[in-house]
């Protein structure tokens, strides 16, 4: 079999970039044609294992690596597949759990906007990974008990954080709208005087709600901090899961989730966009774990991030518009704050539906 792709006597990093750029065209096409591809390495076994981590789909295609043992070609089909990062029990997993515990401790002291958002995202990221790897493997009874307990507490923790996070989102959007309202060069505001008065009144109400919710959150977190910290230590100590021992099988399962989401949401609209966003957020967390070692995971994570940003912006404006309608039910006419926010939400909705629709049509 001819047509070997060689990188003799050169550092792996530029070679890796070439492979990344050629991934979908030259290399995958040649694997489909049954060709064997050789990567000559001068750094020996460790760098070869890194090559397997970065290009697991090449490993699945059956190719040889020159310079494996004393310059002898590696037999086809014996290339080891390293486990993807973030597998429970791995060093990356322990670092993530430790970062989650540190965020929890900081939120107990002072639940600022950044800490609340970070803890909520970190909790969902760990929860998504746990649920995913439980699908790939059947953990031992003791491990399964630890995972179930942590997931149950994670759901409760995110519910506690929700009210504070919603107030933070609304306040941030109001501040952003206030900056937009100012005309260029100190000109007159672009919003009506009534709208600006409603913005200030709504901001004061949201700040009061945020202070109350933050006080309740601090009380609940301090009451449960020791229990959550013990669960975090137990979670970091779970044994390594060996299922889905390569990024290739993991990407296949992630792709299957996207296909299932495309079937569940055949046509996106304002009524189901948020549910679709919540589903794809978990997929995004999983793809982001594979991004450092898999070119397909890297591209998928970048695409999902853009979708999450667009759909999240629409959801934030819609949430703030509902707050304005609730605060001023008799002042929702033209030029009001509610009407202004609804126009912002409509523009964001069109952008999000266009981006998400293009993505789903690929599946």
pLDDT tens-place string over residues 215-225: 999 999 999 99
The residues, ordered by sequence, that sit 6+ positions from 253 with a Cβ below 8 Å of its Cβ are 132, 135, 136, 244
Look-up: residue for tokens 């309740």?
216
Q: What does the pLDDT read at residue 140? A: 78
pLDDT score of 254 = 86
Task: Tell whether the torsion through CA atoms of 161, 162, 163 and 166 is positive or negative.
Answer: positive
Backbone angles phi, psi at 72, to 5 degrees: -80, 140
Residues 6+ apart with CB under 8 A from 231: 146, 149, 150, 153
CB–CB of 235/264 below 8 Å? no
Beta bridge partners of 69: 72
20 falls in which pLDDT band (50, 70, 90)? low
Secondary-structure percent of the chain, ordered helix, strand, coil, rounded to 5:
70, 0, 30
Question: What 3-state class would DSSP assign to 72?
Answer: strand
| Helix, coil or strand: residue 336 | coil
Contact between 147 and 139 under an 8 Å Cβ cutoff? The reply is yes
Label residue 185 left, alpha or beta by phi (over 0 means left) and psi (-120 to 50 means alpha): left
Residue 72, strand partner residues: 69
Report helix, strand or coil for 69: strand
Q: What percent of the chain has pLDDT over 90?
A: 42
pLDDT tens-digit map of 55-68: 444 444 433 333 33
Largest CA-CA distance found in the chain, in angstroms, rounded: 81
Tens of pLDDT, residues 23-80: 433 443 333 333 333 333 333 333 333 343 434 444 444 333 333 333 333 333 333 3
- Whether this prediction's pTM lies above 0.75 is answered by no
């Amino acid at each position: 079999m001819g047509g070997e792709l060689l990188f003799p006597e050169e550092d792996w990093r530029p070679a890796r970039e070439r492979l990344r750029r050629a991934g979908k065209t030259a290399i995958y096409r040649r694997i489909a044609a049954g060709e064997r591809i050789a990567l000559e390495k001068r750094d020996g076994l460790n760098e070869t294992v890194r090559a397997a981590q970065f290009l697991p789909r090449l490993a699945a295609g059956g190719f040889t690596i020159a310079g494996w043992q004393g310059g002898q070609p590696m037999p086809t089909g014996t290339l080891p597949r390293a486990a993807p990062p973030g597998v429970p029990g791995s060093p990356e997993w322990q670092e993530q759990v430790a970062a989650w515990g540190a965020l929890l401790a900081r939120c107990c002291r002072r639940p600022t906007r950044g800490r609340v958002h970070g803890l909520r995202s970190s909790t969902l990221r760990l929860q998504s990974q746990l649920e995913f790897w439980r699908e790939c493997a059947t953990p031992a009874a003791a491990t399964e008990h630890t995972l179930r307990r942590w997931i149950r507490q994670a759901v409760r923790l995110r519910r506690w954080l929700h009210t504070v996070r919603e107030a933070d989102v609304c306040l941030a959007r109001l501040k952003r709208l206030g900056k937009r309202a100012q005309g260029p060069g100190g000109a007159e505001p672009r919003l009506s005087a009534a709208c600006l008065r409603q913005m200030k009144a709504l901001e004061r109400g949201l700040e009061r709600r945020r202070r109350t919710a933050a006080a309740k959150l601090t009380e609940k977190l301090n009451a449960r901090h020791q229990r959550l910290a013990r669960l975090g230590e137990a979670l970091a100590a779970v044994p390594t899961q060996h299922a889905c021992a390569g990024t290739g099988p993991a990407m296949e399962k992630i792709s299957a989730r996207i296909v299932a989401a495309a079937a569940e949401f055949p046509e996106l609209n304002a009524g189901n966009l948020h549910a679709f966003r919540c589903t794809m957020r978990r997929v995004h967390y999983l793809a982001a774990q594979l991004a450092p070692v898999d070119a397909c995971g890297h591209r998928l994570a970048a695409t999902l991030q853009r979708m999450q940003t667009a759909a999240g912006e629409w959801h934030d404006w819609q949430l703030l518009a509902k707050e304005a309608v609730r605060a001023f039910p008799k002042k929702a006419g033209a030029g009001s704050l509610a009407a202004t926010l609804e126009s912002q939400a409509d523009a964001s909705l069109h952008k999000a539906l266009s981006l998400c629709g293009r993505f789903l049509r690929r599946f």
